[in-house]
Amino acid sequence: MARNEITGKLRDRFIQGAVLLYLIDPVRGEPTAYGLDKDSSLIDHSRELFLKRKFLDSFALICAIKKDPKTVSAACLEEDQPGGTVVRIASNAGVSEDTIRSLQRLVDMFSSKPMRELDPSELERIVLFEIIQLDIVKIRDYMKLLKTSHNVFDVQVLEVQSRLVNVASETTSPPIQEFLDWFEQLFSIKDLPNELMPTVLLGYIVWAQKAKRAYYKYLSLAFATPRGCLPRWVKIVFKLGRYGIAARTFVQTLINCPALFDSMVVESVSAPPKVQYALQEEEKSLERVLRRIPEVRVEDAIPRLSSIWGTDDPETIFRNSCPEVLVTHAEIQLISFYDHNPILRPHLRFIGVSKKSCYLCWRFLQSHPSGFCVSSCHQKLYPSWIPAPSTDLKVYKKYKKITLDMSEMMEEIAREGLIGRLGLKRLMPADSTAGVSLSGLTELGTTKITDFAGRGGVKVNFVSASGDAAPQHLEALADPERPSNDSRCSSASDMASTRTRQYPLEKGSAESFSSMVFRFKDQRDEKKQDIIIVDSILDPNTQLPSWSKLVDLLNSEDSFGLVFRDSDFLLINSNIRIRNERQLLACLQWLLNDGVWNAEAMICDGFFSAQTFAGQGMTGKYKMTDDES
């Protein structure tokens, strides 16, 4: 069957627009997070839906068996199929048969009666052991990176204690001593061999799992920079902890949704081949893409770009930034599969991801009519991105239209950047879901982390689902020399009671506007409405209104059909336009100053409005022609 791909002038336009946007700023907005990164108190969905989403993110995580962009993975859940439940997976470069077999062996455990009769905490350890065996190459890589991270072993326990005494509140929970005991285990990693056995890795993953759940506050107080950034080694510990969270997610999904696992099959999507790409030698690509953008004067823009990029030859910079190979990402492979097999399209329109989705995947999903979403987006733009090829003419035409729309959108955003904020770049966020959360998952039991670094090890009573001989205990790890408790921790009365941090509004001032109420409508369909009190969008850490929480509420499934896209903005009382957290806080203060407690908020299509404000029907607007194929 003929394979239709986005080629020709349309592909050139899309890639050139993406490259220009990438060079202006590769980060296109604030990272967004749902699923594994998100506190369960912010999720309005049912417990079952919450667990299924977390299950898919966890499944995609363990499907990515190596630290390699080729293995970045995505997963969907097809329920009520004739043969049972299907977990449909995809990876950037395809999923190997060995990986599929290992994943199938893992899910087969959950339909086993002996396994279901185990204590949940014991089953969790079994599942974690199987996950480690599957992803051992990647987990060992993380352990190596942890050992070699800059300054990882430079800060001793006494210094950490001193830092916490100066900034922590005496009411902080858990106790500082408990955190110091946990932190001290870090030094046992220093002299470990690189090729650690799964039993040893299991102990360290259980240890790492506590970093985000129990000790994030202490890690931030002790190690964060003035800008709030944590050192690399802390982020690696978070990444190791993800695997323990995945194991707990699987077990709790089994407990809450046992029928889901009665007959579960793992199936993959074949990855399309990579596409070679090259610009025409004689073409002035940068000038061409600039001429497509309304209100941008090429003779003005090129010197400005030369200055920002630090070159006398911006055309060469632009051409060298164009990708040589184009790749269809795993999320888009799944969308393409369901477009070609609509009868299999799942009821749960959610794609679990092993890493946060990229900016163009996020945009494509927003433009696609099926309504699929992902758990998170790091907002970074990859110019090598390309839509999936199609063997169905209707699907091809749909992808062609979406590609054209995305091209126009990128050109409009580039116009705003060239005119308004050229030279200003956002902080580069992490790709991965390093900050995965145990939030929403109940305790299944306790593994004593101090034991595995001690003299006897932790006893682990289980058999391997793969049929291998089961380890009866974790290998004992070196116990680092411990200072006495008296020398390590001062009394609570010696601790400072506050920690200062600068916010646009004073911390705690949220009480003054938490009772403000907004009624939301959608400019595209005013029948769609919702009403939200500010108290429901307060960040639990800062106690300030959170833009990301507001967007999540507007996009939740019970928001009466409202959708807030990245390009959208809010129009408050018909005269205040906001689209980020800084503007939200300023708007709330404005309304508070005016004594306004109830306000109208209109969700406006940012792309449409920008075209309207710029003037519709302006000359030079690019039209797709029949040869753009």
| Cross-strand bridge partners of residue 432 | 355
Asked if 268 contacts 95 with a C-beta cutoff of 8 angstroms, the reply is yes
Q: What would the two tokens of residue 606 be?
A: 């940012």
Asked if 549 contacts 628 with a C-beta cutoff of 8 angstroms, the reply is no
C-alpha distance from residue 75 to each of 96, 269, 311, 331, 334 (Å)? 15, 10, 43, 8, 8
- Return the closest-CA partner of residue 321 out of 311, 333, 331: 311
Cis peptide before 198 (omega within 30 of 0): no
What DSSP letter does each residue of 226-264 carry, written as one string? TTSPPPHHHHHHHHHHHHHHHHHHHHHHHHH-GGGGTTE
| Cross-strand bridge partners of residue 73 | 91
Residue 395's H or E segment, with its range, is helix 393-416
In this structure, the strands spanning 598-604 and 569-572 are antiparallel
DSSP-H helix ranges across 261-313: 285-291, 298-309
Question: Rounded CA gap, 130 and 119, in Å?
Answer: 17
C-alpha distance from residue 329 to each of 91, 175, 279 (Å)? 7, 44, 22
Q: What is the pLDDT of residue 592?
A: 86
Q: What is the pLDDT of residue 503?
A: 37
Q: What would the two tokens of residue 240 be?
A: 């190791």
Asked if 350 contacts 372 with a C-beta cutoff of 8 angstroms, the reply is yes
Asked if 138 contacts 66 with a C-beta cutoff of 8 angstroms, the reply is yes
Question: Rounded CA gap, 90 and 423, in Å?
Answer: 37
- Considering Cα of 50, then 56, then 60, then 63, what sign does the dihedral take? positive
Question: Rounded CA gap, 151 and 503, in Å?
Answer: 29
Successive 10-residue mean pLDDT values, the chain, 629 residues? 88 95 83 51 66 96 94 95 94 96 95 92 96 97 93 89 78 80 93 92 96 91 86 94 96 95 96 91 83 88 88 92 96 98 95 94 93 88 96 96 95 84 59 54 47 34 39 35 36 32 40 80 83 85 81 69 78 91 90 88 69 37 37
Exposed, middle or buried, 107 (CB in 10 Å: 0-12/13-18/19+)?
A: buried
What DSSP letter does each residue of 96-131 carry, written as one string? -HHHHHHHHHHHHHHT-HHHHTS-HHHHHHHHHHHH
CB atoms within 10 A of CB 469: 7
